[in-house]
Amino acid sequence: MNHPAPSRASSGARPLSVATPVVTSVSPASGPAAGGTRVTVTGTAFTGATAVRFGAITASFTVVSDTQITATAPPGTGTVQVTVTTPSGISTQFVTYTYSTTSGPTLASVAPSSGPAAGGTTVTLTGTGFTGATAVLFGTTAAASFTVVSGTQITATTPPGTGTVQVTVVTGSGTSNGVPFTYTTAPLPTLASVAPSSGPAAGGTTVTLTGTGFATATAVRFGALPATSFTVVSDSHITAVAPAGTGTVQVTVTTAGGTSNGIPYAYSAAPVLSGVSPNQGPTSGGNTVTLTGTGFTGATAVAFGAAAAASFTVVSPTQITAVAPAGSAGPVGVTVTTPGGASTLASAYFYVAAPVLTGVTPAAGPLVGGNTVTLTGTHLVEATAVRFASTPAGAFTVVSDTQITAVVPAGSAGPVGVTVTTVGGTSAAVTYTYLAAPTVTALSPSQGPVSGGNSVTLTGTGLAQTSQVLFGAVPAAFTVVSDTHLVADAPPGPAGPVGVTVTTPGGPSAANPYTRLPAPGI
């Protein structure tokens, strides 16, 4: 029996697949009983498909290619076979789709709810059942990217689009309800500056944003976090309060036209001040102090108590040098302020009052020095130096806050200023006089009776401050007449010569001979 020759398709007809369709997989393989899940069917020989069925129920579908179909799952229950029908037949592979009794995802909000037609807006989706989300759709177009933050939040980047579309979330349990997102033609905002550009990790810093297109701002974000609050001052200015955060984030402004470019904002750790050296100085200030700690980069202020440092330099993240301001005697806290906050070290620096000298006793001494004097005054207890003019004392001992004993160094004849230096500064000077040793050039008379009692006039130099006249080792009563003359009462003594010396603060004179004569014999 002869079979008729197959007819040829007309030149304009579309050839149909002659192979029976084969279904190899469906994705996702499950969804809610209510249907509506967008399912991708993969296999071969799909060209010309006339039906896609979930069990016995026909689904709406689109042939993407000979190997892929997208279908919307109809309502159903249990596990059913998915088949594809073409003019060449029906697929027979047992590829199944399971209707889940669990509820699918729900979408409550999309923020912002509008953005530019070019896409690229970062939106936050809130709702439930987002865990395991496989797609976020803007209408029928998949999001450029998305991140499942939690079961109740997704961040997604809008694809290009036009008009108002429904945003949906797809999971293994199905596709959520839709929430509208509007593609706008409004101009995209631009951000030019953020000032200040850093602040503490705790947030709370008020930041001024400048740029264009701010009038319809719906959000200001620091990274992924919304500003604690913001105020649109004008189309070119916004003030915003930074939320808490870490590291460096991009600040953006979102309007109906979309989301602006980002400007970096750095969250800085609060500084920690751990040391101050030296930890004391004069009430007049002006001395340089080294502060040590951590987090000093970008320091904006250093204060001693309530007074700002005269100047300061950030040497490194762990060191600052500061010039102490003037202050009142006593302890003060030292504070370092950075964009990350402030750190105060309580009672870390002590203002020391300058020493005051009121007297030196004795007030004169020999050129060779070596004698001990007592200095009196106030604020002497932390003395670091005692000087006679510019010459340091041979040694000194702080007896109390009001008294110092010092060994006088050698010096030249004449008055010099004596000063005491402490951390608080250098005192005003009190006068100490270096005296040359006295000289005696003549005694008149140069002899007298052994019984003494006669007056002897001593002529010489440097006699004004005479403290003692000796005939040998015996003190004599005396009267200073002038710097060149004094009168002494010769004491009794044995017959013969004896040396007469005069002592002043400048030392003893050389001995001059005086002769005692015995009484004449009878």
Is residue 38 within 8 Å of residue 135, measured between CB atoms? yes
Sign, CA torsion 491/493/495/499: negative
Contact in structure between 388 and 368 (CB atoms under 8 Å): no
Give the burial string for 118-147 (b: 16+ CB within 10 Å, else e).
ebebbbbbbbebbeebeebbbbeeebbebe
CATH number of 106-184: 2.60.40.10
Q: So what's the pLDDT on residue 15?
A: 46
If you classify domain 439-517 with CATH, what class do you get?
Answer: mainly beta
Assigned superfamily of 356-435 = Immunoglobulins (2.60.40.10)
Tell me how far apart the terminal alpha carbons of the chain are, to the nearest angstrom. Answer: 205
Residue keyed to tokens 């209408």: 139
Instruction: Give CA separation, 22 vs 39, 193, 442, in Å.
Output: 16, 59, 147
Contact 358, 371 (CB under 8 A): no
8 pLDDT tier (thresholds 50, 70, 90):
very low
Say if residue 259's pLDDT is above 80. Answer: yes
Please tell me if the domain spanning 190-268 has the same topology as the one spanning 356-435: yes
Percent of the chain with pLDDT over 70: 96
Q: Which of 195-199, 360-364, 399-403 has the lowest mean pLDDT?
A: 195-199
CA 409 to mean position of chain CA atoms: 51
190-268 is a CATH 2.60.40.10 domain = yes
pTM: 0.51
Residue 12 has pLDDT above 60, yes or no: no
Structural fold of domain 22-100:
Immunoglobulin-like (2.60.40)
Cβ pair 275, 312 in contact under 8 A: no
Could you tell me the two tokens for 281?
Answer: 């100085």
pLDDT band at 102 (very low <50, low <70, confident <90, very high): low
Say what the pLDDT of residue 522 is. 61
Average pLDDT, the chain: 91
What pLDDT score was predicted for residue 7?
35
Domain boundaries defined on the chain: 22-100, 106-184, 190-268, 272-350, 356-435, 439-517
Dist. CA 168–CA 181, nearest whole Å: 10
User: Residue 291's closest CA among 351, 376, 223, 348?
Assistant: 348
Q: pLDDT-based confidence at 480, cuts 50/70/90?
A: very high
202 with 133: CB under 8 angstroms?
no
Q: Which fold has domain 272-350?
A: Immunoglobulin-like (2.60.40)
Predicted local distance difference test score (pLDDT) of residue 1 = 36
Output the pLDDT for position 269.
84
- Give the pLDDT of residue 289: 97
Cα–Cα dist 498/482, whole Å: 24
State how far the Cα of 279 lies from the Cα of 276, in Å rounded to an integer.
5
Nearby residues of 12 by Cβ (< 8 Å), 6 or more positions away: none
Mean pLDDT of 443-457: 96
**Range with the lowest mean pLDDT among 1-10, 53-62, 232-241, 366-375?**
1-10
**What does the pLDDT look like over 39-96, one tens digit per residue?**
999 999 999 999 999 999 999 999 999 999 999 999 999 999 999 999 999 999 999 9
Compute the distance between CA of residue 103 and CA of residue 129 in angstroms, rounded to an integer: 8
